[in-house]
Structure 1
Amino acid sequence: MASEFDLIARYFKRPVPAGMLGGGDDCALFAVPEGMQVATSTDLLLESRHFFSDVDPFKLGIKALAVNLSDLAAMGATPIGCLLGIALPRIDEGWVKAFADGFYTLVDRHACPLIGGDTTRSESDIAISVTVFGAVDPAKAMRRSSACIGDDIWVSGYLGAADIACSMMLGQMPMDLALLDRTRLALEQPVPRIDLGKALSAYAHAAIDISDGLAQDLQHILKASRCGAQLHESLLPIAPVLQGIDPARLRQAALAGGDVYELCWTAPIDAREAILKIGQTLQTPVTRIGSIISNQQLIVYDSVGSPLIDLPFGFDHFRT
């Protein structure tokens, strides 16, 4: 049976760029370009909490890094490298190889080399922890506290598909295999908007990754910036594959659905043309959904212009 060190050497030991020190020493070493600051983020993925036990390990490898790269994207940062910690109840080399291949798919795509980490044995379930490092110009970093009154509010991609897939798999709504087939990819293979984040940093004021739900995560910007927002439900970019679903369920999925890993950002009105051009160039949908207001609350107007009374909550590990 392979040892811990065999697994690392066989599946997670690959060359890193010149000038970096990767796995093999007690610490990794890397440099940051002059005038830049380090941006870092970490996420923990637990079996049965963040992913289903039957997930394709290749797709899980992609998602494990994607959810962290999404945070770098929200800051407008360029990836530098990452660390991986993984706890496994047993060694299944086929599973580990597929996971590593998926993980390295994004390592290579976004030039974010794996430069260290740890492996250990767990008592039962799989646990995965990834930390990413990036470089960002501090003058262009899209901080949550930088939204301005009058800013447009934008969102990338489409909303709702991951939430619908997750709800069906948890038995919270009737299973529709055809619908699951159309939505599961959004849940298991999110696309980190690294290039979009870097391009937006020249125009946007504040940004956030909306992995815990649009309404909930947008309110983090509002609190940090001491402002409010008005959104229009009719402008929300609902995933086209969700046509025909009950409107109330769509509202829940679009406003509160988690596992989205899209960006929400604010930008001045005179940046509209530039932002639309960025979206066209990157072939990434970008949609203007509302504006920043002085009244310190989030107001969402329905299709007839009436404010919604009760906004759905996003994801919270400890909410009862």
Structure 2
Amino acid sequence: MNRMFKATTAGRSVDEITEGRRLRRMRKADWSRRLVQENRLTVDDLIWPIFLIDGENRREEIAAMPGVFRLSVDLAVREAERAAKLGIPALATFPNVELSLRDQTGSAILDPDNLVNRASRAIKAAVPEIGVITDAALDPFTSHGHDGILRDGIIVNDETVAQIATAAVLQADAGADIIAPSDMMDGRIGAIRDALDAAGFQDVAIMSYATKFASAFYGPYREAIGTKGLLKGDKKTYYIDHANADEAVREAEQDLAEGADMLMVKPGLPYLDIIRRLKDEFAMPTFAYQVSGEYAMIRAAAANGWIDGDKAMLESLVAFKRAGCDGILTYFAPQVAEMLRA
């Protein structure tokens, strides 16, 4: 409390102090609360991550993520059509690749007809108006579950970056509108930008997983893409320590200098402070990924009757907007879109 305020309130009652400045006035009715609401969630804020599997007419529920499914490409196209009707702007696709196609280097990511690229072509052919976001990281394609090429127990940076850049061009050629590399290798954004431009994909954007933290919240996702049990060790040599905020800002600054068009913070709710800092520092389009662990916690607590699931879901998404997000990757996207439309 500053000196001037102390001087003006000395010796006065609460009623005298708050006279003319009762903040509860605008909270008394639904219409007035809506009138002064500072942040709003709309369907335009939503990106829907979906999981892919090979085959036809296949839908597999993911045990750790109730209500979320792995989908064959034909069913993914149907969900893309549904998303477009709901007004969801974009999908982000993640493959669960057969173990027989995985190896130490993740070489299947360089197949122009791999699961990700087939899905992009099919979705863009059927629903050209919806955005398709693809990840150029290697973890769904490696036999060890790491995001890069493993040599003598070390994830090698530059060889991984070269392969990711080549994969990004293949993904763009298949119809991806945005490349969102989640691997956290040094220099990957610049390499991808150069490769896309050289191949004539100057209009394909890059959403950088600029601040991807070494987090405990990724477990259900690893089950979803089939890397649970494959991973030896952890990813702390390339993901950011969850205790470090300044380092996250430096990562984002470097990615923007290399040509990133958008920044992403992952996970979401435990890192609202990072979202706010990036938005304040750079004023760039900023996104959060409400990751599988966050989704699973809300679902599990709701299933046990401990929280109101719908209210908690909406509150969490508005929190991202309040922190400064322009959009949110969330598995709740279709449910939220239907609620907002209703």
| TM-score of the superposed pair, with normalisation by structure 2 | 0.23
Higher relative contact order (CA 8 A, sep 6+): 1
| TM-score of the superposed pair, with normalisation by structure 1 | 0.24
More helix by share: 2
More strand by share: 1
- Bigger-Rg structure (1/2): 2
